[in-house]
Amino acid sequence: MASFFSPFTLLRGAALAAAAALVTLAPLDTHAQSSINSKRTSNGAPGGGNGNVTATARSRDPVRTQNWPFSWSADESRRVDRIVISLSAQRVYAYQGGRIVLDTPCSTGRPGHSTPVGTWRIFFKNANHFSGSYGAVVNARGQVVNADATPRSYVPRGCAYLRAPMPYFMKFVGGIGLHTGMLPGYPASHGCIRLPNEAARRLFALAPIGTPVSVVRAAPAGTPAAAAASAPAAPST
């Protein structure tokens, strides 16, 4: 008997394919992989640590955006003691015994959706989380019609609303948490803290519910970002 595919079935398949494309993660580029394997520190700033690539170029390249280099030297048999998020440096730090074991770039809340400053604890975790507040509208071919949609957004006929994927989600205040996401090189989220996928995966494994999370404005003392911020300006010529 011949198979019958309704328009809804075809749309649903295209929508699922689009959702998969949003979270498809290519292998780490060579520099990022060597940075992790050797546990070398790399600041991941645009134009530094991964070749002379601008923030704009990074934001247009899903592979490079997902895999900004980060440093990792954690004892994976122990949990992390605390997590610190620096808004000015756009970086996340995790500590074990007072020592920084994760130093990674991030993207915090954009203007109008600022990530709040304060200290909380992780109270919810889900490795395969999808947003209940934000997503995208896609058509039957999987093309994004509205990349900044909400459940109340207009959905044209023949299109579907897809909730935004938030892998390795760790919620610590309201609906805000850390998770895998695109890093354009500046604050761009709705308040959450986006991380490179591999950094999010490793942190998720070592940060149980109850782990303290602090959001601060300046970079913590002892970090390369703090040293750079306090360095004297070069004399003008």
CATH number at residue 35: 2.40.440.10
Instruction: Please state the domain count of the chain.
Output: 1
Is 230 part of any domain?
no
* C-beta contacts of 54-63 below 8 A and 24+ residues apart: 55/184, 55/185, 55/186, 58/183, 58/184, 58/185, 59/182, 59/183, 59/184, 59/185, 62/26, 62/182, 63/26, 63/29
The pair of structure tokens assigned to 51 is 């070749």
Is 1 part of any domain?
no
The pair of structure tokens assigned to 106 is 């991030």
Task: Please give the pLDDT value at position 58.
Answer: 34
> For residue range 24-40, what is the model confidence (pLDDT) as tens digits?
333 333 233 333 333 33
Task: Please give the pLDDT value at position 168.
Answer: 98
Percent of the chain predicted with pLDDT > 90:
65
> For residue range 183-195, what is the model confidence (pLDDT) as tens digits?
999 999 999 999 9
63 vs 177: which has the higher pLDDT:
177
Is 228 part of any domain?
no
Is 67 part of any domain?
yes
Residue-range definition of the domain harbouring residue 87: 7-220
Residue 41's closest CA among 70, 65, 66?
Answer: 70
Task: Please give the pLDDT value at position 137.
Answer: 97
The pair of structure tokens assigned to 95 is 């500590």
Is 231 part of any domain?
no
Contact 102, 71 (CB under 8 A): yes
Is 233 part of any domain?
no
Is 119 part of any domain?
yes
Is 226 part of any domain?
no
> For residue range 41-92, what is the model confidence (pLDDT) as tens digits?
333 333 333 323 233 333 333 434 567 899 999 999 999 999 999 999 999 9
